[in-house]
Amino acid sequence: MIAAERGTIWRPYTQHGSADPPLFIEKAEGSTLYAKDGRRIFDAISSWWVNIHGHSHPKIAAAVAEQARTLDQVIFASCTHEPAERLADALVRAAPKGLDRVFFSDDGSTAVEAAVKLAVSFWRRRGEGRRTLIALENAYHGDTFGAMSVSAPSAFTADYAGMLFDVKRVPWPAPGREKESLDTLEKLLRSERRRAAAMIVEPLVMGASGMLMYGAASLKAMREACARHGVLFIADEVMTGFGRTGTLFACGQAGISPDILCLSKGITGGFLPLGATLAMEEVFRAFASEDRSRTFFHGHSYTGNPLSCAAAVASLSLFEEESTLSRIERIAGIHKRELKRFIRRKEVADARQTGTIAAVELRVPDAGYLSELGPKLSRFYLSRGVLLRPLGNVVYILPPYCSTEAELVRAYDAIEESLKIVGL
């Protein structure tokens, strides 16, 4: 079956000329993946950061099954339904204050795509031709063309150089470099006065670039700078949302409300694809008119899919029913304790954490995303029954909230052992 899969399926981010055969997973429950060959594997990265409550959660499964018996799909441009209405209300109540409009899409990249298009179209509806987007260096926002444009140039975007729109970039506010970043942003906002449409950031943690972390004070300062200059502020919380940074949304730690908020990944608890772009009422009002030419011309076939919305409603309800924020606090405490074992290791350049996200940066030169280090480490961790997918020389743990202390310690043991096994 694996041979057949390798001959027909084209997997994401995979070099089929050299990659190991994929794991054949028969089922998953909680934080455990059950492989066809009998292995039980701790899913320490929540299967690409989506399974926040764990796999096959019975409440979410029941909600999806019940919804499937009632309404599976309906065109959302002309219709609405209870799961979408309930989810929109729940998201507005949970999100930072003022984000009162919800636009549904398919995933994180399309949530960002909608946000970028909204920002540019907003200014056209206001009679201003603002088209300049501002982003942080090292950013990653997705793989569709707008999302690639606001992401940093990398191996992910190299093939499309020249096809992406220009973006002004600001150094990310690394610890010790906050002033440089904010000064650059301030100068840029002045120079791009009446041309800048929006700034987009990953709040507190920049995921795919290596779990780069910065403080809430810098996030607040960037938001305030954009507000002073009348520039829209987009928070891409596709990865950081739904508790990952220790609070329901990372923006909450800075006490800010963005003009536009992008959500996905954990929104359905990992059950089904869904994206959401929340916007301030002012943004929505720029499009609302009897003039049909002022419409926001964007959408997806599966926008507001009832099954996905039902899963998301159930997932959000678990935050109260299972005291999820307490689970998040417990995991954050375990991370803080276990990371101490790496602080003075000569093989480790940095060990950092924000909420349930922990990262160990290995002191390996020229070990970027395309190096063989990542696959070599992944192979070793699987041999220890732990699924980890390093970003170059950065090994991160981003577990389901149901993970036990023993499972987390086992992951840290594997990382510590790998420092010797892989020859670091």
Give the residue-averaged pLDDT of 346-351. 95
pLDDT digits (tens, 9 = 90+) for 222-272: 999 999 999 999 999 999 999 999 999 999 999 999 999 999 999 999 999
Q: Which of 183, 247, 185, 177 is nearest to 214 (CA)?
A: 177
Question: What pLDDT is recorded for position 424?
Answer: 58
Q: What is the mean pLDDT of residues 278-282?
A: 98
End-to-end CA, the chain:
36
Give yes or no for residue 365 having a pLDDT over 90. no
| Percent of the chain surpassing pLDDT 70 | 98
Over pLDDT 90: what percentage of the chain?
92
Q: What is the pLDDT of residues 173-228, one digit of tens each?
A: 999 999 999 999 999 999 998 999 999 999 999 999 999 999 999 999 999 999 99
Query: By C-alpha distance, which of 387, 351, 390 is closest to 374?
Result: 390
Q: Tell me: the pLDDT tens digits for 29-81?
A: 999 999 999 999 999 999 999 999 999 999 999 999 999 999 999 999 999 99
pLDDT of the residue at 420: 87
Average pLDDT score over the chain: 95
**248 φ, ψ (degrees, to nearest 5):** -55, -45
pLDDT of residue 126 exceeding 50: yes
pLDDT at 422 (0 to 100): 63
Residue 368 is predicted with a pLDDT of: 82
The pLDDT assigned to 3 comes to 47
**CA 104 vs CA 45, 91, 120, 224: distances in Å:** 25, 11, 18, 27
Active site residues: 13, 140, 236, 265
Output the CA torsion sign for 59, 93, 86, 83: negative
- Write the pLDDT tens digit of every residue in 298-308: 999 999 999 99
Domains and CATH numbers, the chain: 2-53+323-421 (3.90.1150.10), 61-320 (3.40.640.10)
Question: What is the reported pTM?
Answer: 0.96
Count Cβ atoms within 10 A of the Cβ of residue 297 and give its class: 0-12 exposed, 13-18 middle, 19 or more buried: exposed
